[in-house]
């Protein structure tokens, strides 16, 4: 279980997180929502030790990771994978080499086993036969899928998704969401996702948390979250997918 | 007045912090060099990029530097009737100073700037974070091979620079201006000592360290924007060039 206790973080003189308390349920898909610039990605990166909090604690099971460094932190990170907003594929490697990268670096498997596992994952994310391409030759959606394959290939216990559908068309966003849900059901990992895709995230998430003013304003099971009556939260989740026209811009 | 003092204090603190971070970066990179895996393929790839791909521009610079030294040296020495010493003048200038300094400046401009840009882009596009999340140390995976390659590649390029420069001086002094070939080579043989060669090699090793250290550091800690990356690349080239020249002076004063 991942647990954040009173996490505070100031970046560039601006207080981004102001005492976040959050518990991520094991084996569930939890989505963190919130306005742009609220610090959702920063929060996610605290969970894997890419950021250290100025104050507060980050627990992964029985280990407090916020002050860990080097080998001790790497031991914890072996349980994680992360899909970055831009997929963060290595430009100089092909798709196959990108997905094979953690297997070769961390497990030292025989090339035959590496090939089998990589092809299996590429097939699962719908990139069969694309292994020879470089990231620059792929569309945004394909890059995300390759990033997902790389995240899944080590079969981690916990996967962090940083806005996995940002910048994609609705069809591709649905494809990525479906893939995440399928993989989550198949492998049963704990998933934490940062997303703006309201209302879609309510269909796919087990739990939803909202980050507001540097704190967790609410966290509840997905269906329950939609019934929250707090006006600001209700407004935030109700405007998703709707357009408010100004009086002078009414459609003819 | 208090504002000026406050600004001065802030700048001083910033510079001290930056220097401390740079030294920690260098220390950590050296520490990671001694830990397996040693990644020989990565080192060879970097050696190809820093060394082989810089060889054309190094040869070109060396040839024209040697030729202009031959030209200038010939007309200066002729005033004293000492044209026969042209070979030693060209060779000593090349081996002691111009070879290490100019070759290193060319490597900085060609390969150093590319190193900063490459690492900076990897930082901006979160590829370095991705390495971290996979429990792979970016210093070991990315920086150490570049560091070793620069350490090996720069002395080799300097050796090529010296040889090509001496032949450039020969071409102008002997073939064009009529200095005797025998006196050109014999003056080199009598004037150049092993300690000149060792000094040049020592300089080139240290310049290799400076290039990889500063250029990788600037890329690694680039600000997360296109403008930040441009600034980092410029700063890397300027700071490396200035440090090479300053370090050259100190090393020369010790070696002489």
Q: Which residues in chain B are contacts of A85 at CB distance < 8 A?
A: 126
Residue-wise pLDDT tens digits, A14-59: 999 999 999 999 999 999 999 888 899 999 999 999 999 999 999 9
Question: Of A177, A178, A188, A128, whose CA–CA distance to A152 is shortest?
Answer: A188
In the predicted model, what is the mean pLDDT of chain B? 93
Residue-wise pLDDT tens digits, B122-155: 999 999 999 999 999 999 999 999 999 999 999 9
pLDDT at A247: 58
What does the DSSP assignment read for chain B? -HHHHHHHHHHHHHHHHHHHHHHHHHHHHHHHHTSS---HHHHHHHHHHHTGGGHHHHHHHHHHHHHHHHHHHHHHHHTTT-GGGHHHHHHHIIIIIIHHHHHHHHHIIIIIHHHHHHHHHHHHTTHHHHHHHTT--HIIIIIHHHHHHHHHHHHHHHHHHHHHHHHHHHIIIIIIT---HHHHHHHHHHH--HHHHHHHHHHHHHHHHHHHHHHHHHHHT--SSHHHHHHHHHHHHHHHHHHHHHHHHHHHHHH-
Residue finishing a domain among A129, A155, A181: A155
Answer yes or no: is pLDDT of A156 > 60. yes
Residues A117-125, mean pLDDT to the nearest whole number: 91
Residue B4 inside a domain? The answer is no
* Interchain contact, A74 vs B133, CB within 8 Å: no
Residue finishing a domain among A155, A180, A197: A155
Domain around A182: 2-79+157-249
Say if residue A140 is in the same domain as residue A192: no
Taking CA–CA distances from B126, the nearest residue in chain A reads A88
pLDDT at A169: 85
Residues A61-84, mean pLDDT to the nearest whole number: 91
Residue B20 inside a domain? The answer is no
Residue B218 inside a domain? The answer is yes
Say if residue A109 is in the same domain as residue A137: yes
d(CA B88, CA B173): 12
Say if residue A61 is in the same domain as residue A12: yes
Residue B200 inside a domain? The answer is yes
Say if residue A182 is in the same domain as residue A150: no
* Interchain contact, A86 vs B136, CB within 8 Å: no
Taking CA–CA distances from A79, the nearest residue in chain B reads B134
Say if residue A60 is in the same domain as residue A111: no
Residue B59 inside a domain? The answer is yes
pLDDT at B26: 95
Residue-wise pLDDT tens digits, A179-229: 899 889 988 999 999 998 888 889 899 999 999 999 999 999 999 999 888
* Interchain contact, A90 vs B127, CB within 8 Å: yes
For chain A, what is the domain count?
A: 2
Among the partner-chain residues B125, B135, B137, the one whose CB lies closest to the CB of A88 is B125
Say if residue A207 is in the same domain as residue A235: yes
pLDDT at B163: 96
Residue B198 inside a domain? The answer is yes
pLDDT at A241: 45
**Cβ contacts of residue A95 below 8 Å, gap of 6+?**
A89, A122, A127, A130, A131, A132, A133, A134, A135, A138, A146, A149
Answer yes or no: is pLDDT of A174 > 60. yes
Go through chain A and tell me how many residues it has.
Answer: 252
Residue B58 inside a domain? The answer is yes
pTM of the model: 0.87
Mutant choice from B129, B133, B140 vs A, greatest count of A C-beta within 10 A: B133
Indicate the helix (H) or strand (E) that contains A71: helix A70-77
Answer yes or no: is pLDDT of A246 > 70. no
Residue B25 inside a domain? The answer is no
Say if residue A241 is in the same domain as residue A163: yes
Say if residue A141 is in the same domain as residue A129: yes
Which residues, given as ranges, of chain B have pLDDT below 50? Answer: none
Residues A80-97, mean pLDDT to the nearest whole number: 93
Domain around B122: 54-255
Residues A125-140, mean pLDDT to the nearest whole number: 91
In the predicted model, what is the mean pLDDT of chain A? 89
Q: Which residues in chain B are contacts of A105 at CB distance < 8 A?
A: 134, 136, 141
Say if residue A173 is in the same domain as residue A239: yes
Say if residue A232 is in the same domain as residue A201: yes
Say if residue A9 is in the same domain as residue A114: no
- CATH number for the domain including A15? 3.40.50.300
Mutant choice from A70, A82, A97 vs B, greatest count of B C-beta within 10 A: A82
**Percentage with pLDDT > 90 across chain A:** 62
Residue finishing a domain among A114, A131, A155: A155
Answer yes or no: is pLDDT of A245 > 80. no
For chain B, what is the domain count?
A: 1
Say if residue A20 is in the same domain as residue A139: no
């Amino acid at each position: 279980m991942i647990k954040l206790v009173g996490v505070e973080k100031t970046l560039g003189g601006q207080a981004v997180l102001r005492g976040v308390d959050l518990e991520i349920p094991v084996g569930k898909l939890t989505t963190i929502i919130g306005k742009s610039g609220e610090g959702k990605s920063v929060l996610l990166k605290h969970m894997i030790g890419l950021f250290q909090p100025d104050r507060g604690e980050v627990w992964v099971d029985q280990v407090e990771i916020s002050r860990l460094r080097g080998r001790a932190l790497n031991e914890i990170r072996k349980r994680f994978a992360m899909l970055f907003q831009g997929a963060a594929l290595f430009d100089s490697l092909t798709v196959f080499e990108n997905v094979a990268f953690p297997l070769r670096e961390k497990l030292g498997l025989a090339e035959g086993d590496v090939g089998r596992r990589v092809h299996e994952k590429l097939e699962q994310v719908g990139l069969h036969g694309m292994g020879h391409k470089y990231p620059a030759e792929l569309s945004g959606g394909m890059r995300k899928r390759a990033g997902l394959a790389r995240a899944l290939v080590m079969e981690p216990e916990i996967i962090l998704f940083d806005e996995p559908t940002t910048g994609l068309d609705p069809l591709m966003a649905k494809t990525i969401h479906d893939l995440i849900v399928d993989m989550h059901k198949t492998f049963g990992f704990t998933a934490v996702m940062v997303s703006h895709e309201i209302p879609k995230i309510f269909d796919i998430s087990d739990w939803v948390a909202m980050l507001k003013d540097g704190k967790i304003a609410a966290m509840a099971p997905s269906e329950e979250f939609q019934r929250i009556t707090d006006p600001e939260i209700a407004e935030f989740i109700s405007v998703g997918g709707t357009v408010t026209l100004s009086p002078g811009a009414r459609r003819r | 007045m208090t504002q000026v003092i406050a600004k001065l204090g802030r700048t001083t603190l910033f510079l001290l912090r930056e220097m401390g971070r740079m030294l920690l970066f260098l220390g950590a990179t050296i520490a990671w060099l001694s830990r397996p895996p040693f990644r020989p393929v990565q080192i060879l790839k970097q050696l190809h990029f820093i060394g082989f791909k810089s060889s054309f521009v190094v040869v070109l610079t060396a040839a024209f530097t040697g030729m202009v030294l031959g030209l200038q040296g010939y007309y200066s020495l002729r005033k004293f009737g000492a044209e026969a010493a042209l070979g030693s003048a060209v060779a000593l200038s090349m081996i002691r100073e111009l070879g290490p300094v100019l070759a290193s400046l060319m490597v900085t401009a060609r390969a150093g700037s590319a190193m900063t840009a490459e690492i900076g882009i990897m930082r901006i596009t979160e590829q370095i974070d991705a390495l971290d999340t996979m429990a792979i140390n970016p210093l070991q995976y990315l920086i150490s091979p570049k560091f070793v390659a620069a350490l090996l590649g720069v002395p080799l390029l300097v050796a090529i620079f010296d040889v090509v420069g001496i032949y450039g001086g020969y071409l102008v002094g002997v073939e064009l201006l009529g200095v005797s070939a025998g006196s050109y080579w014999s003056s080199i043989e009598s004037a150049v000592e092993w300690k000149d060669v060792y000094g040049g090699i020592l300089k080139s090793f240290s310049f290799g360290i400076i290039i990889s250290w500063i250029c990788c550091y600037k890329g690694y800690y680039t600000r997360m924007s296109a403008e930040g990356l441009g600034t980092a690349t410029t700063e890397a080239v300027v700071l490396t060039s200035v440090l090479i020249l300053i370090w050259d002076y100190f090393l020369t004063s010790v070696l002489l």
